[in-house]
Amino acid sequence: MLRFLPALTLLAMLGPVIAGLWGTVLPAFGHLPAAGLSGPSLDPFRTLFDWQGLGAASRLSLTTGLIATSVSLAIVAFITAGWSGTKSFRVLERLLSPLLSVPHAAAALGLAFLITPSGWIARLMSPTLTGWDRPPDVLILQDPLGLAMIAGLVIKEVPFLLLMTIAAMGQAQPRRSLLVAQALGYGRPTGWLKTVFPRVYYQIRLPIYVVLAYSMSVVDVAVILGPSTPPTLSVQIVKWMSDPDLAMRLTGAAAALWQLGLVVFALGLWWVGERAVAHLGCHWIASGRRGRFDGPVRVVSLILGGLSACAILFGILGLIVWSFAGFWSFPNVWPDTFTWRSWDRHGPDALATLGETFLVAGVAVGFALVLVLGCLEAEHRSGRSLSWRGLWLLYLPLLVPQTAFLPGLQTLLLNLGADIGRVPVIFAHLVFVLPYVFLSLGDPWRSWDVRNATVASALGATPNRIFWQVRLPMLTRPILTAVAVGIAVSVGQYLATLLIGGGRVSTLTTEAVALASGGDRRAIGVYGLMQTFAALVPFTLALLIPTLVWRNRRGLHE
Amino acid sequence: MNKGLTLRNVCILRGQSPLIEVDYNISEGEVLTVMGPSGVGKSTLLAFITGTLPSGFKGMGQVLLDGEDITSRPPHQRHIGILFQDDLLFPHMSVGANLAFGMPAGGTMTARRAKIDTALADVGLSGYSDRDPATLSGGQKARVALVRMLLSNPSALLLDEAFSRLDAELRAQVRDLVFRVAKERKLPVLMVTHDGEDAKAAGGKIIELESLTKN
């Protein structure tokens, strides 16, 4: 049984991606039996290229992705260079780790509440600094350059990349390299960038590619913060895919392939950039320059990192305040009155949606956990560890843009006449939950001291008994953390729920994003908060449960 | 039939190159000491005997226990106890649960409990059954690890630098206890160490390993 789990895992993870891509390719070339159309033809692409907005949408997709990724990486690299190993760094790390679980949509909604012309920042500065006594008519939100969207992506990717960097540093032994560099007269940031960063970068490369692919094709953040005329390519694809006119799906499919091409192009561009930076970096190292900007780098990076954390924290605070706000006139910083009315009105529905959200997340994570534990145990018993190729396969579902294969998967399900609803949604979530659960659990699982297994088997314990009675209990904490990561990933899924659910499955994320276009801030506050809550509670439990269960076992808390 | 632990023409390869070769019969109650610098593959030899050789290594030859070839048996059916330099008590189990884990199944709960209490008392740890292993001192942990191993009724004992984490005085104490018990139970013992004192205290034959792969 155990032998088949790795293959089953690959099937669950890559099957929908491949099927989805197939389901995209067919209609992109004019083949859609459900609409009575059969190809091949290039008409869908002709329609796509005739669309006025294609240039702007493609440019937006590329710029938001590349800028958001570079800025996030730069902030993370400079913060780590300037501060790793210090007290401030640990504070920032503690601050950012829980933010990782805040869903993209909730973070984007919170940010929107901060930066809209009638948001908190404008209110704080008005009327003293700005002279505004009513909200100005400027488009800070949904600006045509996508700056607000980039900001929304950066505040979420900084925690992700920072935690990836910290995890990667465990293997690079940064302290010793830094000591040597400092003894040779290098300041902390320059020394770190020259000695540690190249090795760390090698480790976080795949996560960076994921960030790039994700930022280019994200839908929920783009709906909330991105420009609307024209929207980003991904948003337009979703519009085409949900058009009542089935023929529009052909254009949508062609656009999805175009999107895939753009992502591949951007990844290639990034790859070339890596080489250029590496080349320049080697020069910089060989030059022996000790770095002239160590001071400013430290200060600026800390400010940016702090800003990024504060944007999410105050954004969530904004959601809280709006959900309790009665009448709130401009430019007052606080609502004129506080009331339970929004919770009374939206609370019961939100709670029911929370149930649906957890049901989908729970089943998907349950499957993921069984598959991942099975794979890891099979890996342990066969003595073969995950190869580089295996790691790439694990990252593949995260690298293929969602907008490229989810519409195809939806079309395929329609063609098959399969029921669209909760079960397909769960399996679509599994595609994204699986890799994250695997990545989260893999390292702690492999760094478990296998001599424990040797001792247990020397005591006569069978492999199954070792698995259930020794390894699982000893790894309670990382397993629960992986479960929490999986739930957070599932809770945050927007496109998979929207498209595969066919509008019949609504989770807190789809509801919150749907509300975003309406502008009822109190309702957005309620749903955004519930969404954050749904992602954060499992993490809190993952911390609490082992502490309670193993309260008399000190050896498990070190 | 040869009683004891026999290593017959054992040769361990890393990739293609031979790492160590041993051909020896450890009789009941005898201690064979294998010495050598670190990295020479001493622990790999023990891993071959317990059946947990990591991938990348290949073992040849046979391991016989009381005349029976156990070379291809799975680790949990070999009846070979092992002690590492770390106690490796399972941190999620109480001291008593650790011991119960190692005992062969069977018998009433009261009988098992009594057996555990006696075994603990034998090493001066009466009443420690419900303790969290993390709250024990280094010497106490070492003794619990020894008792846990003995309660599983092994037919041979491997020591992988088992005393190297203990300070000098404790080290002698624990070492004498282990050797005494092994003699009483007529267990063949294979000890791997880089410490001359350990080898002297064992009083048996010493095999000095040197690297077969010269750089």
CB contact under 8 A, B51 and A457: yes
Contact A411, A23 (CB under 8 A): yes
Q: Is residue A51 part of a domain?
A: no
Q: Residue B76 is nearest to which of A461, A474, A558, comparing CB atoms?
A: A461
DSSP state of A14: H
Contact B190, B198 (CB under 8 A): no
Residue at which a domain ends, from B153, B175, B191 = B153
Q: Rounded to whole angstroms, how far apart are CA atoms A446 and A435?
A: 16
Task: Give percent of chain B with pLDDT exceeding 70.
Answer: 96
Q: Is residue A43 part of a domain?
A: no
At A170 the pLDDT is 76
CA dihedral B141, B143, B144, B148 (to 10 degrees): 140
CB contact under 8 A, A553 and B55: no
CB contact under 8 A, A451 and B86: yes
> What does the buried/exposed string (b/e) look like for A63-75 if buried means 16 or more CB atoms within 10 Å of the residue's CB?
bbbbbbbebbbeb
CB contact under 8 A, A458 and B80: yes
Residue at which a domain ends, from B153, B180, B198 = B153
Which range marks the domain in which residue B139 is found?
94-153
CB contact under 8 A, B132 and A474: no
Q: Is residue B14 part of a domain?
A: yes
CB contact under 8 A, B152 and A459: yes
Residue in this structure with the two tokens 């800025």, named with its chain if needed: A71
Where helices occur in A447-500 by DSSP H, the ranges are 451-458, 463-465, 472-474, 476-492, 495
Structure tokens at A462: 């069978």
| Residues in B touching A479 (Cβ below 8 Å) | none
- Summarised one tens digit per residue, pLDDT across range A400-421 is 999 999 988 888 887 777 666 8
Residue A510's CATH number? 1.10.3720.10
Q: Is residue A47 part of a domain?
A: no
At A73 the pLDDT is 96
Q: How confident is the model at residue B212 (pLDDT cuts 50, 70, 90)?
A: low
Are B125 and B27 members of one domain?
Answer: no
Q: Is residue A275 part of a domain?
A: yes
Instruction: Say how many Å lie between the first and final Cα of chain B, rounded.
Output: 41
Closest C-alpha among A538, A219, A112, A203 to residue A358: A538
Beta bridge partners of B190: B32, B158
Where helices occur in chain B by DSSP H, the ranges are 42-50, 95-102, 109-122, 138-151, 168-184, 196-202
Q: How confident is the model at residue A44 (pLDDT cuts 50, 70, 90)?
A: confident
Q: Is residue A45 part of a domain?
A: no
At B160 the pLDDT is 92
CB contact under 8 A, A454 and B75: yes
Q: How confident is the model at residue A32 (pLDDT cuts 50, 70, 90)?
A: confident
CB contact under 8 A, B84 and A553: no
Q: Rounded to whole angstroms, how far apart are CA atoms A67 and A212?
A: 9
| Residues in A touching B85 (Cβ below 8 Å) | none
B interface with A, Cβ–Cβ < 8 A, is: 47, 50-52, 54-55, 74-82, 84, 86, 88-92, 101-102, 104, 132-135, 148-149, 152, 154
Q: Rounded to whole angstroms, how far apart are CA atoms A235 and A62?
A: 14
Q: Residue A556 is nearest to which of B86, B91, B135, comparing CB atoms?
A: B91
Mutation target for B interface from A387, A459, A476, A557: give the one with most B CBs within 10 A: A459
A interface with B, Cβ–Cβ < 8 A, is: 383-384, 449-463, 469-470, 473-474, 476, 550, 552-556, 558
Structure tokens at A182: 């400092």
Q: Is residue A416 part of a domain?
A: yes
Helix (H, G, I), strand (E, B) or coil at B158: strand
Are B60 and B15 members of one domain?
Answer: yes
Q: Is residue B76 part of a domain?
A: no
Q: Is residue B77 part of a domain?
A: no
Edge-first strand order for the sheet with B68-69 is B17-26, B5-14, B57-65, B68-69
Are B12 and B65 members of one domain?
Answer: yes
Q: Rounded to whole angstroms, how far apart are CA atoms B148 and B144?
A: 6
Q: Rounded to whole angstroms, how far apart are CA atoms B23 and B159?
A: 18
Are B185 and B207 members of one domain?
Answer: yes
| Residues in B touching A457 (Cβ below 8 Å) | 50-52, 74-76
Edge-first strand order for the sheet with B80-84 is B80-84, B156-160, B189-193, B31-35, B206-208
Q: Residue A458 is nearest to which of B54, B82, B132, comparing CB atoms?
A: B82
Q: Is residue B83 part of a domain?
A: no
B30-B35-B36 Cα angle (round to 5): 165
Q: How many CB pairs under 8 A join A and B?
A: 85
Give the mean pLDDT of A531-535: 93
Q: Which residue of B has its CA nearest to A473?
A: B92
Which range marks the domain in which residue A505 is found?
2-28+59-338+352-552
Mutation target for A interface from B43, B92, B155, B189: give the one with most A CBs within 10 A: B92
| Residues in A touching B86 (Cβ below 8 Å) | 449, 451
Q: In Å, how far is B40's CA from the nearest CA of chain A?
A: 19
Q: Is residue A41 part of a domain?
A: no
| Residues in B touching A446 (Cβ below 8 Å) | none
Residue at which a domain ends, from B153, B170, B194 = B153
Is B151's pLDDT higher than 80? yes
Number of other residues whose CB lies within 10 A of the CB of residue A90: 12
Q: Is residue A280 part of a domain?
A: yes
Is B213's pLDDT higher than 60? no
Task: Give percent of chain A with pLDDT exceeding 90.
Answer: 56
Q: Is residue B89 part of a domain?
A: no
CB contact under 8 A, A383 and B54: yes
Strands B156-160 and B80-84, bridge-based pairing: parallel
Contact A546, A476 (CB under 8 A): yes
Q: HSE on the CB side for A347, CA within 13 Å?
A: 8
Give the mean pLDDT of A59-83: 94
Helix (H, G, I), strand (E, B) or coil at A92: helix
Number of other residues whose CB lies within 10 A of the CB of residue A264: 15
Helix (H, G, I), strand (E, B) or coil at B13: strand
- Summarised one tens digit per residue, pLDDT across range A174-212 is 888 888 888 888 888 999 999 999 999 998 999 999 999
Are B138 and B183 members of one domain?
Answer: no
Task: Give percent of chain A with pLDDT exceeding 70.
Answer: 98
Give the mean pLDDT of A11-33: 89
Q: Is residue B39 part of a domain?
A: yes
Q: Structurally, how many domains does chain A consist of?
A: 1
- Summarised one tens digit per residue, pLDDT across range B155-200 is 999 999 889 888 888 899 899 999 999 999 999 999 999 888 898 9
Helical (H) or strand (E) element with B21: strand B17-26
Are B99 and B65 members of one domain?
Answer: no
Residue B20's CATH number? 3.40.50.300
- Summarised one tens digit per residue, pLDDT across range A452-507 is 999 999 999 999 999 999 999 999 999 999 999 999 999 999 999 998 988 788 99
Q: Residue A458 is nearest to which of B50, B86, B132, comparing CB atoms?
A: B50
At B215 the pLDDT is 43
Are B7 and B62 members of one domain?
Answer: yes
| Residues in B touching A478 (Cβ below 8 Å) | none
Is A168's pLDDT higher than 50? yes
Q: Structurally, how many domains does chain B consist of?
A: 2
CB contact under 8 A, B101 and A454: no
Strands B17-26 and B57-65, bridge-based pairing: unpaired
For chain A, the average pLDDT equals 89
- Summarised one tens digit per residue, pLDDT across range A338-374 is 999 999 999 999 999 999 999 999 999 999 999 999 9
Is A37's pLDDT higher than 60? yes
Q: Rounded to whole angstroms, how far apart are CA atoms A409 and A135?
A: 44
Contact B49, B25 (CB under 8 A): no
CB contact under 8 A, B101 and A469: yes
Residues near A493 by Cβ (< 8 Å), separated by ≥ 6?
A: A428, A429, A432, A507, A509
CB contact under 8 A, B76 and A457: yes
Q: Rounded to whole angstroms, how far apart are CA atoms A364 and A429?
A: 6
Q: Rounded to whole angstroms, how far apart are CA atoms A153 and A61?
A: 13
Q: Residue B81 is nearest to which of A450, A458, A463, comparing CB atoms?
A: A458
Contact A446, A391 (CB under 8 A): no
At A419 the pLDDT is 65
Number of other residues whose CB lies within 10 A of the CB of residue B177: 17
Amino acid at site A278: A
Q: Which residue of A has its CA nearest to B152?
A: A459
| Residues in A touching B101 (Cβ below 8 Å) | 456, 459, 461, 469
Residue in this structure with the two tokens 């399996």, named with its chain if needed: A427
- A135 or A55: which leads in pLDDT: A55
Helix (H, G, I), strand (E, B) or coil at A550: coil
